[in-house]
Chain A
């Protein structure tokens, strides 16, 4: 029951986000609607967190936020009705699975069931999540909810740096506002939130691949995603890695969709999701820098300023709030807020470079924590199935490749300057931060490789002119 109540506490935010996605992206197919539900749910949770932060700045200890959420939802419904956006999706399902489709579907169902059982095991045994979850996000949520008018004590200089009071507040604010709506603290709230972001991640992955390729390609992709232990462990563990990756993946997918549909709203949504990634975790800042650089280069000869402008229109609101938070509230970061002399000295310690490179190499091979190296498995898969990139997606491939490189360089630089013991920092976090890069690249991998029906000749292959890059 408390799970349902917790979910209900997030409903106004989630519905508002879905309506915002609907208003920004006018597409009526069933798949597009499903995708808007997944992306919009994340957008709603992110925007709700940002607005709750502003509300608390204006009215410390105020308890009227649930009414503001309901009012915002009512306005969005009115806008959607007025613009004729509320409609049933156009259903065009041709369901004629052959033997191979049935085999893929059964395998996907088996693996999804195993993944759910694994996630349920984590949920059952770790109601408070892992250490990062309760010492960073739940602790901060407790300061906000219990602190009332003194909620900014969560940024007190007396807080030990181990609690990372400088971390962005998306999860903490969402948890606190749900407690506010319920009128009491419930551990079900962060547990439900972790589950919702897992579903968003999987939903965006599957619906996106189905839109860009086929349901069978999406099912094979889902099999690999659901077999990633880090995904199964991290979601129910209530840490910020899966929410961050959900926003990164949404942003990447929206760039792909923009390339094929050329609708400005898609880039606005992509910018918004990128901004929400930065409001989820500091690593989101690196993603924002990467995707901006990527889009700049990808669209260099294609109406660049207008397109960057659309992206910035979505990014602006989260970015302004993040800048305010970082400049005026957050305490110094435990990695970058140290002495400049020591930082420069660490940059020239070649042993550190070697240690980081070795760790990157070994972690990439076992990325996601899989039993069998997923990198090698996917390399073999690409070798057998071949790749068939579409020309229309070319700017998206360029943007994603540059983003991934910038992320990798950014993470490398952070390890280089960290004042903490390098081995501890690498062992503790590298496998987690690589997941932020891995999942979008896994998505792009399945966009790149030949579609299952085409590769197995389950239907007529697409015309060569359409597939050649």
Chain B
């Protein structure tokens, strides 16, 4: 009987320690999550704002457009993961238009720095109608197939 009581006392003590540890974990989790979320950026709303003028002038509401950016332009130093992030955001905000990387479409979205756009135009001579919007965003209409 006394052995049984000892086990019960041990279990009660263990549960008390367990609960204290869990409260510590809960508090630490909350602090970590809150700090990480405060530091995290929220890019989507900003991207929606940037692309609102482009969405207004797009000549169609569905189909596929090309997408070009600084990344494949020789000489432009650009951190590649950022380029993928911007491409992802562009596809999201332009849905249900399919945004496909490359310049092989009649309509192309350009997402450039000023220098990057000029370099791309030099490297890809052809007949284009270009609408320049804010934030380095361009709507490029290829008027002649390469």
Chain A contacts to B: CB under 8 angstroms:
100, 103-104, 107, 110-111, 114-115, 117-118, 121-122, 124-128, 131, 134-135, 138-139, 142-143, 146-147, 150-151, 153-154, 156, 158-160, 162-163, 220, 223-224, 226-227, 229, 232-233, 370-372, 377, 380-381, 384-385, 452, 455-457
Contacts and interface: CB of A to CB of B under 8 A. Distances in A.
Nearest to A455: B11
B88 A159 contact: no
B11 A135 contact: no
Contact of B28 (A134, A371, A377): A371
Majority secondary structure of chain A interface residues (helix, strand, loop or mixed): helix
Given A131-B88, A135-B88, A223-B22, 11 more contacts: A104-B19, A110-B26, A125-B40, A139-B91, A139-B95, A160-B100, A226-B26, A227-B29, A233-B33, A371-B24, A371-B32
B49 interface: no
A114 B27 contact: yes
Interface residues of B, number: 42
A227 B26 contact: yes
Contacts of A162: 84, 88
Contacts of A456: 8, 11-12, 15
Given A104-B19, A111-B23, A371-B25, A127 B96 contact: no
B42 interface: yes
Nearest to A378: B18
B19 A107 contact: yes
14 contacts: A115-B30, A118-B34, A121-B38, A126-B37, A126-B40, A128-B44, A128-B45, A138-B92, A147-B96, A160-B101, A223-B26, A227-B25, A233-B33, A370-B25
Majority secondary structure of chain B interface residues (helix, strand, loop or mixed): helix
B19 A103 contact: yes
A55 B95 CA distance: 21
B18 A381 contact: yes
A110 B23 contact: yes
B34 A117 contact: yes
Interface centre among B40, B87, B96 (most CB of A within 10 A): B96
B21 interface: yes
Given A135-B88, A153-B96, A371-B25, A457 B38 contact: no
Contacts of A115: 26, 29-30
Given A153-B62, A153-B96, A224 B22 contact: yes
A125 B42 contact: yes
B22 to A, nearest CB: 5
A371 B28 CA distance: 8
A310 to B, nearest CB: 39
Interface of B: 8, 10-12, 14-16, 18-19, 21-30, 32-34, 37-38, 40, 42, 44-45, 61-62, 64, 84, 87-88, 91-92, 95-96, 98-101
Nearest to B95: A142
A372 B25 CA distance: 7
Contacts of B14: 380-381, 384-385
A135 B22 contact: no
Interface centre among B45, B62, B84, B87 (most CB of A within 10 A): B62
B88 A121 contact: no
Task: Enumerate the 3 nearest inter-chain pairs by beta-carbon distance, A residue then B residue, closest first.
Answer: A142-B95, A147-B96, A128-B44
Contacts of A134: 44, 92
B33 A135 contact: no
A220 B26 CA distance: 13
Contact of A114 (B30, B37, B40, B42): B30
A107 B25 CA distance: 12
A384 B29 contact: no
